[in-house]
Amino acid sequence: MLKDLFTPCLILDRGKLDNNIRKIKSIVSKQNIDFRPHLKTAKCLEITKILVKEFGPRAMVSTIEELEKLKSSGINDFLYSVAIVPNKLDRIAKNLSNNCKITVSVDNISTAQELVSFYKSTGNRINAVIELDLDGHRSGVRPYANDQLIKIGKCLDEFDLFRGMMSHAGESYGLSNAEDIKNCARNEADQTLMAAETIQKAGINCELVTIGSTPTALSGCKNAGITELRAGVFMFFDLVQSGVGVCEVKEIALSVLTSVISYNKEIDAIIVDAGWMALSRDRGTYSQETDYGYGQVCYEDGTLIKDVIVTNVQQEHGIIQVRKGGNAELPYFKPGEVLRVLPNHACATAAAHSSYNVVNQKNQIIDVWDRFNGW
Amino acid sequence: MLKDLFTPCLILDRGKLDNNIRKIKSIVSKQNIDFRPHLKTAKCLEITKILVKEFGPRAMVSTIEELEKLKSSGINDFLYSVAIVPNKLDRIAKNLSNNCKITVSVDNISTAQELVSFYKSTGNRINAVIELDLDGHRSGVRPYANDQLIKIGKCLDEFDLFRGMMSHAGESYGLSNAEDIKNCARNEADQTLMAAETIQKAGINCELVTIGSTPTALSGCKNAGITELRAGVFMFFDLVQSGVGVCEVKEIALSVLTSVISYNKEIDAIIVDAGWMALSRDRGTYSQETDYGYGQVCYEDGTLIKDVIVTNVQQEHGIIQVRKGGNAELPYFKPGEVLRVLPNHACATAAAHSSYNVVNQKNQIIDVWDRFNGW
């Protein structure tokens, strides 16, 4: 019984998780391409094992902690997504083995040179891709910065440390219709292929050309020359992804179980024990057509309560109200009854918890899976 | 050397922590009143021990996890801040002992009755205060709701489970000048005393009349009849509290150490390895006079870099730029150099990490203290 769980806690719907994984598998299988799931969303050994079974022994990670805690899943080819800083090489090297190849990403010549020095002085072979910056928002080399690309590529290739090109269409999260997402996916592929071509023309082999974000990966856009697609949040989905249009709200596999503390008649609000500590402060739906506040509220069984959202959060309190302009009436719940909240952003909400309570279609708890944070 | 730490991670300045504790102690010691620190900010055994030494064996907690993990500090009088839901009583009762008295808060008669039933059926004496809602924002009984107060009070008092009144001037975080904070503190005390009087006139003893928030507690407002003051974030302080006006930026004891990934010339930005996972998504300074984005940037030694803030965050990336309208020029940092980021909200930023790297005035690491999350 969900009611017996100590709240707040995470509920993971196993059927929806499986469906979401099948959904991307069916898209990827239509292309002659590898799929590399991003482990940063789930940070969970059991889920990683499912992904290895479905997609093979390769994964993307956002922290070395993920790499260390999840390598027992059978993954032997890790790609570390955050462009590397030199003082992390030592710890990465400790995880190298015949059964564990690790590729980092670099976006500047200084770090590429450090990687080469590290190899020369320790003999530890940490491979690298060049991170591309498609939208000018953060780290990465611009795909048209030919001199920079070739300089970094040659520096790494001389010692056989170069693997290829990596990009991520982060802009896709800001879109909301299929046409724009297709265009974004096409652009992601085109720009990455252009940069790969620049490198190849300079006589450097590009074995790996990897792109992806959940929206663009799900768009089904095909591109010869791209060797690998990546995505992460697809396994859980969330309200932001439903706003982007790549899933329906009913496909969201993750929710937070919370207990009703009391009913505040003065402001027509239900006060619950899930605040920003349990839901996160993510407000990713704020700029979307439907703003879900800090989350969409559901009954204990997962049935959505129309127009009822978490309108405010404090550290350990959530304020549930009918959304502004909503037609619904706020149902009454007794202190101690439980509700479920669908997250704006699954990565952020999952990060607030240390385990998943896995439920079947009847909302029976069939597993408890640990998850972790940290770097 | 801070440079040797694996980034991102928390830095806690021991000298500033001690000063901040002294600051509130000097205010409290001028009043004939107990002080109850809130452990939700630090969630750390070593810090709790310091607090016990300074203020005695009483504390406020926001989770049962805090209670369980911190009772070995010597605290024997816990007040659980979040109005209780019945299914948490079992676990609370397991922590009761001659050396551990636990008081919960209630805000409705149904939960008060559950507490009494629990006592009658198990013999476990969990005491309770009535939580007051001063600003109509979340849980709590309104201080003028005399019938409700007396009903709950009598229900608990019949079995000697009633301790008193608890309130929290949450509104004080939205203020920004000393006069308003004093008024808010006066109101917090007056409203709470009014409710306590209502209860006492009904023949119920009010042993505990506890109020507080960091801004109102630091205001030095004196009130006969109030038995206890509470505060939490005062020990670290943060940018929000500096915006409220109760500390200076240089008093902030907590920061996040982060490594420079690269320099993005196109958008004049430094890209670092601290994103929302390390800084939190808290934007508490957004509505204040000075908006610090996702945090104020400092050099490795803690010296503030004027007008340089974290303007955007992704999961594991922070984007550092000169604030809009700022006069400063963005200094150049090589990939691998480290910076420090002062948090908007210390509770949220600390929650993203599992330990504090404690430094002395020379920025030498003198201790590593564990912290925890969870409920």
- In tens, the pLDDT along B225-280 reads 999 999 999 999 999 999 999 999 999 999 999 999 999 999 999 999 999 999 99
The tens digit of pLDDT for each residue in A101-112 reads 999 999 999 999
Report, as an integer, the average pLDDT of A214-238: 94
| Strand stretches in B1-126, DSSP E | 9-13, 34-37, 58-61, 77-80, 101-106
Contact indicator for B42, B235 with CB cutoff of 8 Å:
yes
Q: Touching check for B105 and chain A: CB below 8 Å?
A: no
Q: Give pLDDT, residue B327.
A: 87
Distance CA B241, CA B311 (A): 20
Percent of chain B topping pLDDT 70:
100
Contact A7 B375 (CB under 8 A): yes
Indicate whether A135 pLDDT > 90. no
Closest CB from A108, A261, A283 relative to B85: A261
Contact B83 A316 (CB under 8 A): no
Contacts of B362 (CB under 8 A, 6+ apart): none
| Range name among A6-20, A214-228, A270-284, B106-120 with the lowest pLDDT average | A214-228
CATH topology of domain A2-9+253-370: Lyase, Ornithine Decarboxylase; Chain A, domain 1 (2.40.37)
Contact indicator for A208, A103 with CB cutoff of 8 Å:
yes
Which residue in the block uniquely carries the two structure tokens 């694996």?
B6
Contacts of A354 (CB under 8 A, 6+ apart): A370, A371, A372, B373, B374
| Range name among A170-179, A206-215, A362-371, B111-120 with the lowest pLDDT average | A170-179
Contact indicator for A313, B137 with CB cutoff of 8 Å:
no
Indicate whether B223 pLDDT > 90. no
User: Of B277, B311, B357, which to mutate for an interface test with A (greatest number of A Cβ within 10 Å)?
Assistant: B277
Contact indicator for B147, B202 with CB cutoff of 8 Å:
no
Three-state DSSP class for B37? strand
Mean pLDDT of chain A: 96
Q: Give pLDDT, residue A316.
A: 98
Distance CA A187, CA B359 (A): 47
Q: Give pLDDT, residue A187.
A: 94
Contact A335 B282 (CB under 8 A): no
Q: Touching check for B3 and chain A: CB below 8 Å?
A: yes
The tens digit of pLDDT for each residue in B342-374 reads 999 999 999 999 999 999 999 999 999 999 999
Nearest residue to A349 (alpha-carbon basis) of A270, A253, A271: A253
CATH topology of domain A31-234: TIM Barrel (3.20.20)
Q: Touching check for B75 and chain A: CB below 8 Å?
A: no
Q: Give pLDDT, residue B137.
A: 81
Q: What's the pLDDT band for B131 if we cut at 50, 70, 90?
A: very high
Q: Give pLDDT, residue A220.
A: 87
Phi, psi of B307 (to 5 degrees): 65, 10
Report, as an integer, the average pLDDT of B9-17: 98
Annotated domain spans of chain B: 2-9+253-370, 31-236
- Decide: residue A289, CB within 10 A, 0-12 exposed, 13-18 middle, 19+ buried: exposed
Q: Which residue of B has its CA nearest to A263?
A: B139
Q: Give pLDDT, residue A327.
A: 87
Indicate whether A222 pLDDT > 90. no
Nearest residue to A43 (alpha-carbon basis) of B43, B277, B260: B277
Q: What is the DSSP letter of A67?
A: H
3-state helix, strand, coil in chain B (%, to 5): 35, 25, 40
First to last CA, chain A: 34
Distance CA A284, CA A243 (A): 9
Q: Touching check for A213 and chain B: CB below 8 Å?
A: no
ipTM: 0.96
Contact A335 B110 (CB under 8 A): yes
| Strand stretches in A88-216, DSSP E | 101-106, 127-131, 162-166, 208-211
The tens digit of pLDDT for each residue in B314-329 reads 999 999 999 999 988 9
Distance CA A211, CA A35 (A): 10
Rama region for B192: left / alpha / beta (φ>0; ψ in -120 to 50; rest): alpha
Three-state DSSP class for B38? strand
Which residue in the block uniquely carries the two structure tokens 């042993």?
B207
Q: Touching check for A203 and chain B: CB below 8 Å?
A: no
Contact A334 B110 (CB under 8 A): yes
User: Which residues 220-249 on chain B approach chain A with CB closer than 8 angstroms?
Assistant: none
Query: Is it true that A2-9+253-370 and A31-234 share their CATH fold?
Result: no
Contact B280 A281 (CB under 8 A): yes
Contact B138 A83 (CB under 8 A): no
Closest CB from A62, A107, A317 relative to B262: A107
Number of Cβ within a 10 Å radius of residue B63 = 24
How far, in Å, are A7, A260, A262, B97, B238 from residue B86 at the CA level? 11, 10, 11, 20, 34
Contacts of B142 in chain A (CB under 8 A): 266
Nearest residue to B235 (alpha-carbon basis) of B221, B214, B220: B214
Q: Residue A211 pairs with which residues in a beta bridge? A: A229
Q: Give pLDDT, residue A189.
A: 96
Q: Give pLDDT, residue B136.
A: 82
Q: Calculate how close chain B gets to A276, using CA atoms only, in Å.
A: 8
Q: Give pLDDT, residue B135.
A: 86
Indicate whether A32 pLDDT > 90. no
Q: What is the DSSP letter of A277?
A: H
Contacts of B360 (CB under 8 A, 6+ apart): B14, B15, B366
CATH class of B31-236: alpha beta
Q: What's the pLDDT band for B101 if we cut at 50, 70, 90?
A: very high
Contact A82 B261 (CB under 8 A): yes
Contacts of A8 in chain B (CB under 8 A): 375
Contact indicator for A271, A319 with CB cutoff of 8 Å:
yes
Distance CA B193, CA B196 (A): 5
Nearest residue to B142 (alpha-carbon basis) of B151, B132, B150: B132
The dihedral through the CA atoms of A181, A182, A187, A189 has a sign that is positive
Nearest residue to A81 (alpha-carbon basis) of A352, A356, A347: A347
Q: Touching check for B120 and chain A: CB below 8 Å?
A: no
Contact A271 B63 (CB under 8 A): no
Contacts of B351 in chain A (CB under 8 A): 277
Q: Calculate how close chain A gets to B30, using CA atoms only, in Å.
A: 30
Q: Calculate how close chain A gets to B92, using CA atoms only, in Å.
A: 12
Contacts of B353 in chain A (CB under 8 A): 374
Q: Which residue of A has its CA nearest to B62?
A: A316
Tokens linked to B223 = 């009130």
How far, in Å, are A261, A286, A316, B237, B282 from residue A293 at the CA level? 20, 7, 16, 28, 15
Closest CB from A62, A334, A348 relative to B281: A348
Contacts of B348 in chain A (CB under 8 A): 276, 281, 315
Q: Which residue of B has its CA nearest to A85?
A: B336
Question: Taking every pair of C-alpha atoms in chain B, what is the biggest distance, in angstroms?
Answer: 71
Distance CA B375, CA B367 (A): 26
Count of residues making up chain B: 375
Contact B319 A170 (CB under 8 A): no
How far, in Å, are A169, B269, B325 from residue A136 at the CA level? 11, 10, 21
- Prior bond of A8 cis (ω within 30°): yes
Count of residues making up chain A: 375
Indicate whether A57 pLDDT > 90. yes
Q: Touching check for A82 and chain B: CB below 8 Å?
A: yes
Contact indicator for A352, A43 with CB cutoff of 8 Å:
no
Contacts of B138 in chain A (CB under 8 A): 264, 269, 271, 314, 317, 319
Indicate whether A1 pLDDT > 90. no
Indicate whether B7 pLDDT > 90. yes
Q: Residue B297 pairs with which residues in a beta bridge? A: B341
Report, as an integer, the average pLDDT of A279-295: 97
Q: Touching check for B264 and chain A: CB below 8 Å?
A: yes
Indicate whether A223 pLDDT > 90. no
Q: What's the pLDDT band for B138 if we cut at 50, 70, 90?
A: confident
Distance CA A337, CA B228 (A): 32
Q: Touching check for A88 and chain B: CB below 8 Å?
A: yes
Report, as an integer, the average pLDDT of A192-213: 97
Phi, psi of B337 (to 5 degrees): -70, 155
